[in-house]
């Protein structure tokens, strides 16, 4: 079972459930209408999930799923339904250096500060940073940004954990932590500029509610240029050094999230150093049991003077 956010043309965003190839429109069927209210609701999250399940079991599907998850839009009885990122009021936080590949790539790119990446990979305390607020998150099939003042840009395919206000896991989504490797490599104190800029975070296509083991999910990254595949890489969340519980526990230690949060869990796929994204590249990130997040690359910002 998957939870999605979508909207019909200019109408308000809605929550939907995807089950057995059908989309159930939850508008008006639950005591809440937004993801933020679902994640904020009092009581245990399992009760909210039971409510979702019974809303679906007693309902008639609104429409059959054809293109919504795979193209980001679908005609529904003459109206266009458009898929939205699964975040409405949540901050998106991100973990760093949780895979050996990420540690190695960052040590190589940041000559003067390599030891800090080794230290954080081995430390008890993880690296956590604020990646985006909800209104800045790019929808599936939307444009993700590469900075015009950066020369070396990559996507970071990451498992995203959707958390309630009580820091319980609602489900899992796919995230893209777009990053400028030259800016981060120059000095780790430039990390916010390397990672937090316009359209640098995408989420979607859905929140999978029934993942049994998030530590055993294949992740695949494909980058296409003019229709040709220019990069493919894969990993598995079993390569993650840290457990999701541990990352969540640190995130919630000294911060609260009244409308929930999304936590990205770090990248285990980093293209070779010769690779950089170009405008119009198509980035596809697939995670087992969740789906594929597709975005198109566009320049953002201004060049250095
Ligand atoms: O330390 C830099 C950020 C690391 C990161 O984003 C990752 O490992 O995914
Ligand atoms: Mg990352």
pLDDT digit string (tens) for the chain, length 305 residues: 999 999 999 999 999 999 999 999 998 888 889 999 999 977 889 999 998 998 898 889 999 999 999 999 999 999 999 999 999 999 999 999 999 999 999 999 997 899 999 999 999 999 999 999 999 999 999 999 999 999 999 999 999 999 999 999 999 999 999 999 999 999 999 999 999 999 999 999 999 999 999 999 999 999 999 999 999 999 999 999 999 999 999 999 999 999 999 999 999 999 999 999 999 999 999 999 999 999 999 999 999 88
Other CB atoms within 10 Å distance of the CB of residue 42: 8
Please tell me the distance from the alpha carbon of residue 136 to that of residue 256, in angstroms, as a whole number: 20
Q: Is the pTM of this model over 0.95?
A: yes
Which numbered ligand comes closest to the C-alpha of 103?
A: 1
For residue 38, the CA-to-ligand 2 centroid distance in Å is 27
DSSP assignment of 199-265: T-EEEEEEEES--S-TTS-EEEEEEEETTEEEEEEEEEGGG-SS-HHHHHHHHHTT---TT-EEEE-
Please tell me the distance from the alpha carbon of residue 158 to that of residue 95, in angstroms, as a whole number: 9
Q: What is the largest CA-CA distance in the chain?
A: 61
Return the bridge partners of 232, or none: 222
For residue 258, the CA-to-ligand 2 centroid distance in Å is 24
Most ligand 1 atoms within 8 A of CB, residue of 123, 179, 201 to mutate:
179
Please tell me the distance from the alpha carbon of residue 265 to that of residue 175, in angstroms, as a whole number: 9
Both tokens assigned to 172: 């899992």
Please tell me the distance from the alpha carbon of residue 104 to that of residue 109, in angstroms, as a whole number: 9
Helix axes 100-109, 114-122, angle to 10 degrees: 160
Most ligand 1 atoms within 8 A of CB, residue of 104, 116, 153, 156 to mutate:
156
Please tell me the distance from the alpha carbon of residue 248 to that of residue 262, in angstroms, as a whole number: 10
Query: Which of 52, 107, 94, 85 is CA-nearest to residue 204?
Result: 85
Please tell me the distance from the alpha carbon of residue 154 to that of residue 124, in angstroms, as a whole number: 27
Return the bridge partners of 169, or none: 163
Q: What is the pLDDT of residue 289?
A: 98
How far is Cα of residue 78 from the mean position of the Cα atoms in its chain?
30
Q: What is the pLDDT of residue 74?
A: 98
For residue 156, the CA-to-ligand 2 centroid distance in Å is 5
Most ligand 1 atoms within 8 A of CB, residue of 92, 93, 94 to mutate:
94
Query: Which of 102, 90, 3, 124 is CA-nearest to residue 53?
Result: 3
Q: What is the pLDDT of residue 172?
A: 98
For residue 22, the CA-to-ligand 2 centroid distance in Å is 33
Kindly give the pairing relationship between strand 201-208 and strand 169-177: antiparallel
Positive or negative: CA dihedral 160, 198, 253, 88 = negative
For residue 133, the CA-to-ligand 2 centroid distance in Å is 16
- Residue whose Cα lies nearest atom 5 of ligand 1: it is 96
Positive or negative: CA dihedral 170, 198, 107, 176 = positive
């Amino acid at each position: 079972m998957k939870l999605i956010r979508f909207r019909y043309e200019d109408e308000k965003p809605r929550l939907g459930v995807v089950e057995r190839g059908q989309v159930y429109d939850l508008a008006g069927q639950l005591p809440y209408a937004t993801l933020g209210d679902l994640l904020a609701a009092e009581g245990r999250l399992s009760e909210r999930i039971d409510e979702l399940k019974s809303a679906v079991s007693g309902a008639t599907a609104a429409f059959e799923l054809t293109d919504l998850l795979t193209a980001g839009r679908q005609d529904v009885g003459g109206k266009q339904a458009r898929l939205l990122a699964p975040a409405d009021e949540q901050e998106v936080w991100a973990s760093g250096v949780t895979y050996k590949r990420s540690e190695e790539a960052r040590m190589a790119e940041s000559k003067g500060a390599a030891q800090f990446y080794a230290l954080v990979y081995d430390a008890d305390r993880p690296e956590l940073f604020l990646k985006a607020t909800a209104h800045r998150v790019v929808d599936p099939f939307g444009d993700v940004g590469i900075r015009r003042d950066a020369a070396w840009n990559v996507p970071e395919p990451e498992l995203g954990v959707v958390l309630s206000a009580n820091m319980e896991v609602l489900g899992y989504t796919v995230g893209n932590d777009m990053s400028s490797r030259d800016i981060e490599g120059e000095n780790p104190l430039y990390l916010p500029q390397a990672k937090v800029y316009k359209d640098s975070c995408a989420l979607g296509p859905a929140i999978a509610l029934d993942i049994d083991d998030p530590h055993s999910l294949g992740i695949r990254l494909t980058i296409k240029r003019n229709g040709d595949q220019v990069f493919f890489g894969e990993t598995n969340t079993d390569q993650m050094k840290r457990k999701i519980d541990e990352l969540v526990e640190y995130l919630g230690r000294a911060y609260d999230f009244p409308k929930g949060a999304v936590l990205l869990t770090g990248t285990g796929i980093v293209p070779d150093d010769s690779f950089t994204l170009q405008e119009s590249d198509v980035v596809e990130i697939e995670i087992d049991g969740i789906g594929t997040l597709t975005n198109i690359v566009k320049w953002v910002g201004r060049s250095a003077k």
